[in-house]
Every structure is written in C-alpha cells, then in structure tokens.
Structure 1
Amino acid sequence: MNRVVRFHEIGGPDVLRLDEVPVPQPGPGEVLIRTRALGLNRAESMFRLGQYGTAPVLPASIGYEAAGVIEALGEGVHGLTVGEAVSVVPSFTMNDYPVHGEAVLAPAHAVVAHPGQLSFEEAASVWMQFITAYGGLVDVAGIRAGDTVLISAASSSVGLAAIQIAHQAGARAIALTRTGAKRRQLLDAGADDVIATAEEDVPSRVRELTNGQGARIVFDPVGGNALADLVAAAAPGGVLVLYGVLDRTPTPLDIGQVLFKRLTLRGFTLHEITTDAQRRAEAVAFVTEGLVKGELVPTVDKAFPLDDIAEAHRYLEAGGQVGKIVITVGTDTTP
C-alpha cells in the first residue's frame, strides 16, 4: 500500500490523515515518483482551510512539491529515466496531481532532474520559492541593477529566495518582518536592511534608506492594512507585485498616491509562469543555473517525518520559521 496525505473535511491541521491507497500507475504523459521529501507551503494550509484559489474536492489529497526517484514512466514520456532523482515544479492543481504521499503521480512536464549537489530535502524546497520570486521580480517587475526591492514576509522561503535573486541582479534587498526577532537571521541571509513593521514606520524608514527615493519594486504576499504603507514607500513609477493574501482584512488604498506616483499594482501567481511552457522553461533554466553556480541556495528551516504531517502544518501556521519546512519520507534524503 501507499500512504498519502488527505483530509476529509475543511479545517485546521488536525483534519489531516495518512490514508492508505493503492500505488497509482502512470498514464500517458505521467511519471510515478517514489518520494523522499516533500516541501510544505502556505498554499497547502490555505487549500486545507478552503481559502485557496482552487476549492478542494473532498476527500482531498494535498501537496505541490516533492522530490524523489522515478519508479515508472507513462506512455510518451521522454527525457526522463527510471531511477533518476527528480523534483516537481508546481504546474498543476492539487485536485489533479497532489504530491504529498509516498508514491505519487506528476505530469511529465513538471518533473525536473534537479542539480545533483542537492539533497532530496533541498530539492523539495526549490521550485515554489525560487520560481515565485523569479516570476515576480524578474519576469513581471524586470528587476535591474540599482533597484531597491521591499520584500514582505522576508523570512518565508519565497522571501529568502527574493533576497538572493535581488542580489543576483545587483539590486538592494530591504527585508520586512513583523518584529525584530528575526533581524539577525535575515541579515545573515543577505538582506541589506531589515525593517520591523510592527516597531518602525515603514514609509519613513524606506525614505531614510533610499535618500527619499522609495523602492522601485515591492514584493508582497500579505495585503491587508500593511499595503497602505507599501504604497507610501514605493518610488514614483514603482511596481507592487502582490503574490498572496495572508491578511484578508480590507485593504485601504490611497488612490491619489497610486495615480500621482504612477504606480503599477500587479497581481501575480506562480501558475502564471509554470502553466506556460515557454515561461516555465525559462524559469527552470534561470533557477537551475543559479543553483549550479551557488548563487541560489534553498534554506531548510526544519524537517518533520511524514507521520508528523499535522505538526508540520501547525509549525507552518505559527509563523516562526526562517526558510522552508520539509517533510521527510523514509530515512534516506540523499540522492
């Protein structure tokens, strides 16, 4: 049998179960992966809570990211081999291809032979964070040398990836975090400056750090009340890339600032990149090159065994992590 993570009702982490189901057989264009590590994201938490863009079909399986070894290939799959170490690029819905389980199916276009220096834990931490940051900063905002980038929720895996991509582009990364508790860790992760949003005036501090210019790029997954400060902190002609809605309270917006500062507010989701074959290929090539060169390095905050999946979700929702939360499957997490 094969254990997969499922929930039979909407709710908190306690609704998660490890259900035994038959090992699936890959159909045309599909790959069967025996997993070694699973990446955990806010998307899985929101999906379980019924707050994600796609509603779960109950009983619902879950999961966007996994790394492991190919066990079987479906008809028409080329360029991949049985026994190869691979990871999964989120380019599907969790209703169609949930990958949090011991043996899972993924569409062949989403399966990548990741750089060999990565452990399975690291490989399960790559694609969601780096392609989200690449998509928002490079593909959408056109980041360039000399830019200042405000990065909200900077201690998240995507936030840390954004810091690295900003540096790669020759830009300045200002990390935003709620309190000063993670300041040292964010500086160690490469942030040029850190602003504690609950303790400092964000627009004033950004003006101080940028000689009054403001930030050309704002990269934000939060929304809510804090967005007003980000609009105020943006430079004239700036781009605000909104890739999440962690705070669902109504967002106050000064239309005058948007108008007279000529701001662009741009909603962005990962799937905008990963469901477009050309943009997905460009993103995978960008991230792979960065990984090989050592310019992009996934940060694993903590690993939980599969049996502790509910505890891993509780840890995610507590918000104390710096980097990625990973679920290990079995004991061997090296390729």
Structure 2
Amino acid sequence: MRAAYIEQTGPPEVIQVGEVPKPQIGPGQVLVRVHTASVNPIDTYIRSGDVAAELPRPFIIGADFAGVVEEVGAGVTDLPVGLRVWGSNQGLLGRQGTFAEYVAADANLVYPTPGNVADDTAAAVPLVGITAHLGLVREANLQPGETLFINGGSGGVGSMVVQMAKAIGARVITTAGSEEKAMMCRSYGADLVLNYKTDDIPAAVKKFCSWGVDVWWETLRQPDFDRTIDLLAPRGRMIVMAGRDARPEFPVGPFYVKECRLLGFVMFKAPPAEQQKAAMDINGWLASGKLRVPIGATLPLQEAAAAHTLQEDNTLRGAGTLQGKIVVVVSAGDQQETYQSLLS
C-alpha cells in the first residue's frame, strides 16, 4: 500500500512516500481504508524526535483518519464492513499511523461517521475534538452559565473549545490576532473576542465578567500565571495542555487562597471508554451543525512533508498562515471530488 513514512526522526524532509506492507488486523481490530487524514502538532513532535518514542521502522506518520471499514477482526460486532468511520490515537504509543491507504485500528478507538458529515471534516476532528471534550467535560466540569476564556479561538483546539463550550451553555471569551480570525471566533459563537496584539485583555475581561473567569483554557506555551490567577474566579479551574519544556514562574499564594485548581491532561492517555463518550457527543454536535471543523489547507499524500512544514511554521514559528486543520487526501472516497475541485 502507499504511505507517508519515516526511517529516522528529523526535519520534514525525512518523510518519504512510497510502498509499505499492508497491515494485518487481529482480534478486536478493524481494517480501515483511509480516505483522509489530518495533521496535529504531536505528529510533528514525534517525527522530529522532540517527543522520545520507540517507533517501528518504517514508521507511518499521522494520528487522525476517516475512511471505510474493509475488514473486521474477531470480537468486533458494532463496526460492520462498509461503515464510514473516523478515529484517532494511531501513530502513538508504538502504533503505526494514518498517512496510508490502510490502517489497522483498535475497534474501541473507531467511531461511526454521521451520514451528513464529509470525510475531510471527520478526519480533522478526532484529536482536537476529543481533547476539547475531555478538557471541558471530564477535567473542568464546565457548567451552563459559567464563563470560559481561551487564548486563540480560531485554531484547531481553540475552535473546538469555543463551540463545545457554547453547546454546553457557557459564555466564551477568546482572543485572535486579526479581524479575519476574530470574525471566525464570532461565527463559532464566542461572546467576546479580543485582539491579543492591541487590546488590554485583563481590563476587557474584568469588564465582561467582574466576578472572574470560571474556566481558563491555556494554549500558550509559556503561560502568564500571575495574569491568569488574577482573572480567575474563586474556585476557578485552569487547563494547561501545551509547552512540554515550559518552566514558568507560578504564584502559589494567590492560587491557593482563591481555591483554584490547575488541570493538565494528555488526550491519548484517556481510557477508550472516556474517548468514546467524547466521540458520541462530537458526532451529535457534528450531525446537528453545532460543531464545525475549520480546515485551513488540503494537500495530497505526496505532499506530506509540506503539510508538516506548514504545521510547524504555525505551531512553532508563529507564521499565522493557518486557520484551522491541515487535511491530507490519502485515497479515493467521498473526499475525492472535493480535492479535484480544489485543483481546478
């Protein structure tokens, strides 16, 4: 089968596209013909070697996918052959990735794709969507009527957090670096959108919710804890999910006096049952139109290295050229006509 893979870690140029063996499934697995995949920052960290991991050789890159079930392993009863599905967690913890024509996936990490949802959307939602759901529901226990703040509401995770928080019934404050991105945040339902380059964010937040922010979702690699804790409400919750090497100062006194909580988590460490719960809500919101997945770029499998470069330019180098997820077209499916129209 055709796949994008690496023989050793390094820059995007180490990615090759060529023939590799087709995977064989075991009990509790399904073989999925992949139509589309997507890129996440974690994919680039693994490929570069910044995240130490024992990788098979060759190692197929990618974590998210959408496609069709082609074969079912022993014990799998709810994912029949021919079913359109999506999933994540491939390319992690020793598993092969999704930038390939086929993926052998554990059935408990694969979910049916709603009939009115396209493969590009289904492939773009898994890691960022499940991450947002776990943070909001499992970790922060966000409640209707509460106020949430998130830096960067137009990004991959940010756009999911904004929309899910609104679906839950919360008020949302977010930031953007341009009017175009601010308009996107408003279209997702954000109640207050601030320009982080020009606005006085602390003053604006205090004016909007003088009692403080109930849930602060931090996406910055170097959080300003002094600012955040000052803006948190009593018993406020703060989520951190970026900056593996970050070592910012932390004001312990103001934090515990307010009875606040600091929450950190990693999406792919969540048990399958918790991820399945998130996927059920995501499917419902996708089908009803309450959740839209922004796609910033669509590339063919042959340009996998370019997809990783684009992701790194925006994640690590602040290029600001990407609004949404990067989708990679792997094989013909319901996505093929869309891709052909982009080429014409």
* TM-score, normalised by the number of residues in structure 1: 0.90
User: Which residue of the other structure, out of 284, 295, 304, is the alignment partner of 1:289?
Assistant: 284
1:158-237 map, 5 Å: 158-178=157-177, 182-210=181-209, 212-237=210-235
Partner SS for 1:224: coil
Q: Does residue 61 in structure 1 map to residue 70 in structure 2? A: no
Q: 1:276 to 1:119 in 2, by over 3 A?
A: closer
Output the amino acid matched with 1:239. Answer: R
Identity %: 28
Partner SS for 1:332: coil
Output the amino acid matched with 2:229. Answer: V
Give the match for residue 259 of structure 1: 256
- After alignment, is 3-12 or 114-123 more displaced? 3-12
RMSD: 2.3
1:98-109 map, 5 Å: 98-109=97-108
Shift, 1:164, TM fit: 0.8
Report if the CA contact (8 A) 2:99-2:330 is conserved: no
Give the match for residue 23 of structure 1: 22
What is the CA–CA distance in structure 2 between the aligned matches of 1:214 and 1:168, rounded to whole Å? 21
Shift, 1:152, TM fit: 2.1
Partner SS for 1:280: helix
What is the CA–CA distance in structure 2 between the aligned matches of 1:332 and 1:114, rounded to whole Å? 13
Report if the CA contact (8 A) 1:65-1:128 is conserved: yes
- After alignment, is 219-228 or 287-296 more displaced? 219-228
Output the amino acid matched with 1:310. Answer: A
Report if the CA contact (8 A) 1:35-1:104 is conserved: yes
Shift, 1:95, TM fit: 2.1
Q: 1:102 to 1:75 in 2, by over 3 A?
A: same
Output the amino acid matched with 2:305. Answer: A
Q: 1:238 to 1:53 in 2, by over 3 A?
A: farther
Q: 1:321 to 1:159 in 2, by over 3 A?
A: same
Q: 1:40 to 1:216 in 2, by over 3 A?
A: same
User: Which residue of the other structure, out of 313, 325, 337, is the alignment partner of 1:318?
Assistant: 313
Report if the CA contact (8 A) 2:148-2:172 is conserved: yes
What is the CA–CA distance in structure 1 between the aligned matches of 2:178 and 2:16, rounded to whole Å? 34
What is the CA–CA distance in structure 1 between the aligned matches of 2:331 and 2:185, rounded to whole Å? 31
Partner SS for 2:124: coil
Report if the CA contact (8 A) 2:155-2:323 is conserved: yes
Output the amino acid matched with 1:298. Answer: V
Shift, 1:215, TM fit: 0.8
Shift, 1:192, TM fit: 1.6
Shift, 1:123, TM fit: 0.9
Output the amino acid matched with 2:303. Answer: D
Shift, 1:58, TM fit: 5.2
Output the amino acid matched with 1:262. Answer: E
Give the match for residue 121 of structure 2: 122
Q: 1:321 to 1:209 in 2, by over 3 A?
A: same
- After alignment, is 156-165 or 54-63 more displaced? 54-63
What is the CA–CA distance in structure 2 between the aligned matches of 1:56 and 1:206, rounded to whole Å? 45
What is the CA–CA distance in structure 1 between the aligned matches of 2:167 and 2:143, rounded to whole Å? 9
Shift, 1:218, TM fit: 0.9
Output the amino acid matched with 2:262. Answer: L
Partner SS for 2:304: helix
Shift, 1:316, TM fit: 1.4
Which runs of 5 or more residues in structure 2 are unaligned?
A: 315-320, 337-344
What is the CA–CA distance in structure 1 between the aligned matches of 2:83 and 2:333, rounded to whole Å? 15
What is the CA–CA distance in structure 2 between the aligned matches of 1:187 and 1:154, rounded to whole Å? 9
Output the amino acid matched with 1:281. Answer: Q
Aligned length: 330
Which runs of 5 or more residues in structure 1 are unaligned?
A: none
Report if the CA contact (8 A) 1:135-1:283 is conserved: yes
Shift, 1:328, TM fit: 0.7
Report if the CA contact (8 A) 2:63-2:97 is conserved: yes
- After alignment, is 186-195 or 141-150 more displaced? 186-195
- After alignment, is 112-121 or 179-188 more displaced? 179-188
Q: 1:53 to 1:197 in 2, by over 3 A?
A: farther
